[in-house]
Structure 1
Amino acid sequence: MEGAADRNPIGDRPLRTRHRRRLRRRRPIIVGVGTHGGDAAQDIRFARSADGVGIAYAVHGSGAPLLIDACWLSHLQFDWQSPVWRHYLVELGRIATVIRYDERGHGLSDRGMTDHSLAARVADLEAVADDAGFERFALMAMAQGGPVALEYAARHPERLTRMVFYGSYPGAHAGVSAEELELYAAFEALIKVGWARPTSEFRRVFSSMMIPGGTEEQMRWLDDLQRMAVDAETAVLSRRQRQTIDSSPRMAELDLPTLVISSRGDQMNDFQHARDLAAGIRGARLVALESSNHIVLADEPAWPVFLRELTSFLAPDRSLMPPPAAADAHAEALAALSPRELDILGLAAQGLDNDAIAAKLVLSVRTVERHLQNVYAKLGLQGRTARAAAVGKLLSRG
């Protein structure tokens, strides 16, 4: 960190250019991702890590800075086309200036790396944070990013405003069951055998565990992402080295606002890991999503719950309320719903599925389904996204 005299007193303003580390002879790439509804061009840049590895990162959106620690499977350009990730990118860009990066050996970052240790991955995060030029920012750890984020936070508490853990864990040896260890070994064997195959039957195992509630289109996209994001050798090496990392002792050192979000039925990272994070970090708040998907999809009830919680935590000043004309239209449409329909929609907004709603209201599941169909008809909604859209209209009412 620079001396106090050099620091910018405003936390989310860029640092002076002379304090930023750049990967020379690489020019930023501007990637257009659309012109409607929250879409904006992203600026792809490259930072140089401590060992010289080039780390690709992208910046889009507006608001206070949010740096997202690298996920195992990502591709900065390909993700914008994704029916699995696009809704995250669009909505997060509405509430924050989003900085995200491809892990070393993955996506647009330098390929063929053999060092995927905690030290190397923390150095990558440090390089991106410094190069992006924000003195203070929120840090979001997704999936296997938890140990890296914990280590970074312990080393650089002065850089962080708050933290979010989503579907993550504190360390590979923190409460990992024998069953999970067997699963790790099975995954490694599947990667070696099937990663490079032109057909996707082996890669589909990963996809079906990440998004068991996904459509065939979403599954196919994840199948393709696996080969596009990383080669088989790097996938095995990076997973193997991650399994030796445990940053759980760092949890006790954190003292900043922290939100932990996870799906109850997550098949990639057990929900118990989220409980461990929330219990181990002082003052952390745990939000359980009623979903079996590791990556919550846009058309399930858990998505508006996730978005509401994240927005209120990261950007409470950025309301989810629609423009006045749209708000009036929403209010008029909701006024047509019966009290029972509003009750059911309200429970859906809390993330309850039809079985849970039926049990809570002492109704049959068929009756709940019938009421929801009436809600969709009155609101002019149809298809797989009808439930999420209806919940969104209710939440936007305030």
Structure 2
Amino acid sequence: MHLEPQVFSLLLHLIRNRDRVVAKTELMDEVWGDRYVSDSALTSRIKTLRRAVGDDGNQQRIIATVHGVGYRFVAEVVEVGHEPVVGRAQHIRYCVSLDGVHVAYAVSGSGPPLVKAANWLTHLDLEWSSPIWAHWLDGLSRHRTLVRYDERGCGLSDWEVSDFSFDAWVNDLELVVNAAGLDRFPLLGVSQGGAVAIAYAVRHPERVSHLVLAGAYARGRLARARTEEEREEAELDLKLGRIGWRHDDPTFRQVFACQFLPDGTRELWDAFNDLQRATTSTENVVRFLDVFAHIDVSALAPHVRCPTLILHSRGDLRVPKAQAQELAALIPDSELRLLHSRNHVLTADEPAWQLFLSEVDRFLGDG
């Protein structure tokens, strides 16, 4: 059941703090951040939440109202799955774009900042326990304050948006950075997030101290297609996305899993498929893939002025290493480091992952 991001955030916060009554002011701070909202806005979201979980204001079997104080989750809860990682915590907040889109961002770790531009189908909450991304969050938050976000159209950000463009994604990164109160910071771009990071770094050279590009590219598949065969392969991406999500057929999504994680286990592929399915709608998948295919920052890349590190898997099936070499040729004085892996998203148990982290630490220093 699809819930508005604010309603879902309310549910999560109430469940996580089910051992106590959660004050109205705390819920407002958690969901709306620094934005002023009235009590009626919170009451409306609670009413929507109760309806979604089969409760109402009379029965209050799941969410109880403590008059004059707040709300408490009172249904029985049984925890399953992995043990929580001690010391790991994140804070999710929202900011609002000029066109009214609610963009969710998360802050974790401590130390000097590191901002990660959004990439393919993120979900701030589900990634926290995902075998695909959990080690990324732990590794990048070890010595730094990691700021990341769900781009418009997926995850905990608004799904129903009118402006689904590359420029809108760059604007959303700008929005999140401002909301987080950051002045100058290193910026990480993974996959198509690399192009967003490049565009932001050129737009705001005074704010980006270092740029790290992982599995990134300057031109999307259709933008760089030169032959009819290459154009057919690029169009196939769109068709697979449209069919796979429309019919909820995992066999089509499996193609993406195999491209992103060719050396992954079946368990990792299933986890990747589950995460893809939970992060956005069928319509948005096709819109994402279409924009990705037409990305072209090749004219912007030569104007990057900050130190840049390019990390890329040698055998990457999703984004061939030639794209990393093109970036290295375009961005002045950039460093290129090829990693011994075939995975587009590095897994926790492969040696390339530890090398990735050590290269990032070396490049960024102590902040």
TM range (shorter): 0.7 to 0.9
1:291 partner amino acid: S
1:173-229 CA distances to partner (integer Å, 9 max, x unpaired)?
664454543232112111221214444111111001100111111110111111111
Aligned to 2:277: 227
Aligned to 1:69: 117
- Taking structure 2 as the reference length, the TM-score comes to 0.75
* Structure 2: distance between partners of 1:109 and 1:273: 30
Is residue 281 of structure 1 aligned with residue 331 of structure 2? Answer: yes
The count of residues paired between Structure 1 and Structure 2 equals 291
Task: Summarize the Cα distance change of 1:161–1:227 in structure 2 as closer, same or farther, 3 Å threshold.
Answer: same
Give 2:343's match in structure 1, choosing from 293, 296, 321: 293
* Structure 2: distance between partners of 1:98 and 1:176: 35
Is residue 144 of structure 1 aligned with residue 192 of structure 2? Answer: yes
* Contact kept? 2:237, 2:289, Cα under 8 Å: no
* Structure 1: distance between partners of 2:132 and 2:294: 29
For structure 1, list consecutive stretches of 5 or more residues without a partner in the other structure: 1-20, 28-32, 319-398
Aligned to 1:216: 266
* Contact kept? 1:146, 1:171, Cα under 8 Å: no
Task: Tell me by how many angstroms 1:302 deviates.
Answer: 1.0
* Contact kept? 2:223, 2:295, Cα under 8 Å: no
Deviates more, 1:255-264 or 1:198-207: 198-207
Aligned to 1:129: 177
* Contact kept? 2:317, 2:344, Cα under 8 Å: yes
- Taking structure 1 as the reference length, the TM-score comes to 0.69
Task: Summarize the Cα distance change of 1:154–1:204 in structure 2 as closer, same or farther, 3 Å threshold.
Answer: same
Task: Summarize the Cα distance change of 1:176–1:261 in structure 2 as closer, same or farther, 3 Å threshold.
Answer: farther
Aligned to 1:254: 304
Aligned-pair identity in percent equals: 42
Task: Tell me by how many angstroms 1:114 deviates.
Answer: 3.6
**Superposition CA RMSD, Å:** 2.1
Aligned to 2:204: 156
2:300 partner amino acid: R
Task: Summarize the Cα distance change of 1:308–1:122 in structure 2 as closer, same or farther, 3 Å threshold.
Answer: same
1:88-140 CA distances to partner (integer Å, 9 max, x unpaired)?
11111102110111110100000122422122111111100100101111111
Task: Summarize the Cα distance change of 1:128–1:291 in structure 2 as closer, same or farther, 3 Å threshold.
Answer: same
* Structure 1: distance between partners of 2:344 and 2:298: 21
SS at match of 2:270: helix
* Contact kept? 2:105, 2:147, Cα under 8 Å: yes
Give 2:321's match in structure 1, choosing from 238, 256, 271: 271
SS at match of 1:252: helix
Task: Tell me by how many angstroms 1:298 deviates.
Answer: 1.1
1:150 partner amino acid: I
SS at match of 1:202: helix
Is residue 243 of structure 1 aligned with residue 293 of structure 2? Answer: yes
* Structure 2: distance between partners of 1:197 and 1:81: 27
